[in-house]
Amino acid sequence: MTIDKELWSEPEGLLEKFDANKDGLIDFDEFRTMCVDLFGNEEVEKHEYRVRDIFDILDSDEDGTLNQEEWERCCKEWTSVVVNPVNVFLIVDVQNDFIEGTLALRDCGKGQDGAEVVAPINRLLAELRWDKVVYSLDWHPENHIGFYENLGLRELHAESKIGKQEAKPFDTVVFLDPHLEQRLWPKHCVIDSWGAQLHKDLVIVPGSDQLRKGKHPNMEAYSVFADNNRENSRELLNILEGVGATDLYVCGLAYDVCVRATCLDGLRQGYRLAVIEDCCRGVDPADIQETRRTIEDNGGLLTDSENTRRLVEGQNRSIVMALQLAKSLGSKILGDKNPEGDE
């Protein structure tokens, strides 16, 4: 869908185009007409309630119209981002151990094969112009708390339902110190090992970044954004802020573990986020379905490689992702109105 990108960040031009009754305000019907031009009629009809949600967020004084201040904010902070996104491709943990090594998904007995993500990821790297590509890697010390083989190194808490004697790989136990719940994994992605390397067939593009996570022996780090204790790392955020990222396209291994955690953290950070499902594989199909529901419930877009291509090239635009942006803008507006957090 080709559009005049300059027009969509120009309040006066857009007002002249869509203010049908020439009252200097934009009501919902006029806003919906604008959305049809921006997203296409099929997308608007599919997401009517989201269009209304977006309008209600932008209409911060709740009077049923967008006044001059609201309209200028809409154009400069919403439509301009929708038509001029800064796209980051975040490829999570496409490493040897998850494909052919000690934690190969194909050996988990659930019908998933990590090798299947490499070809579609490579196509997206070859065919699309990304503003930044980031690869994450699990990068664990030998004594990492998540390894089943290290179970004997730490005491279990009395509340752990599974004891050391009966515990098996993929069981969940509760450790005493540090006091945390931990799923036990076969030893994998040990620092500087073959298993920790990105898969040999995965294309590494010039100018990309590689981030290593899970380096602390006593704490998992499923998300590329933060350890499992919710302590944020600035490394990924600094990269995203450095390029002015607006849109994150996430894929990799495993869908129901590290991809899931990364997506939910990205949404919490306020990014427009899509997960590319044909570029993901997981541990357990049941957990994957729960992951899909959770990402959608938190505002993420579930998509595939072909639609990703259309979105990044600007042929399509997503109302789901546009609502993510409106919600972030709405939170900012509330913060500006109430900087001290007063009631």
Contact 131, 243 (CB under 8 A): yes
Active site residue 93: yes
Tokens of residue 102, six digits: 């000690």
**Selected catalytic residue, list 59, 75, 187, 213:** 213
Active site residue 75: no
Question: What residue type is assigned to position 271 of the chain?
Answer: Y
301 Cβ contact partners less than 8 Å away, ≥ 6 residues apart = 273, 274, 275, 318, 320, 321
SS3 of the chain: helix, strand, coil, percent, to 5: 45, 15, 40
Tell me how crowded residue 128 is: count the other CB atoms within 10 A of its CB.
Answer: 17
The residues facing 65 across adjacent strands are: 27
38 Cβ contact partners less than 8 Å away, ≥ 6 residues apart = 3, 8, 79, 82, 83, 317
For residue 337, what is the enclosing H or E element? helix 319-337
∠256-219-294 over CA atoms, to 5°?
25
**Selected catalytic residue, list 59, 93, 227, 247:** 93
Instruction: Please give the full DSSP string across 177-210, using - where no structure is assigned.
Output: TTTEEEE-B-S--BTTSGGGSBPTTS---TT-EE
**Selected catalytic residue, list 35, 258, 263, 279:** 258
For residue 172, what is the enclosing H or E element? strand 172-175
d(CA 89, CA 154) in angstroms, rounded, equals 38
Active site residue 213: yes
Catalytic residue list: 93, 213, 258
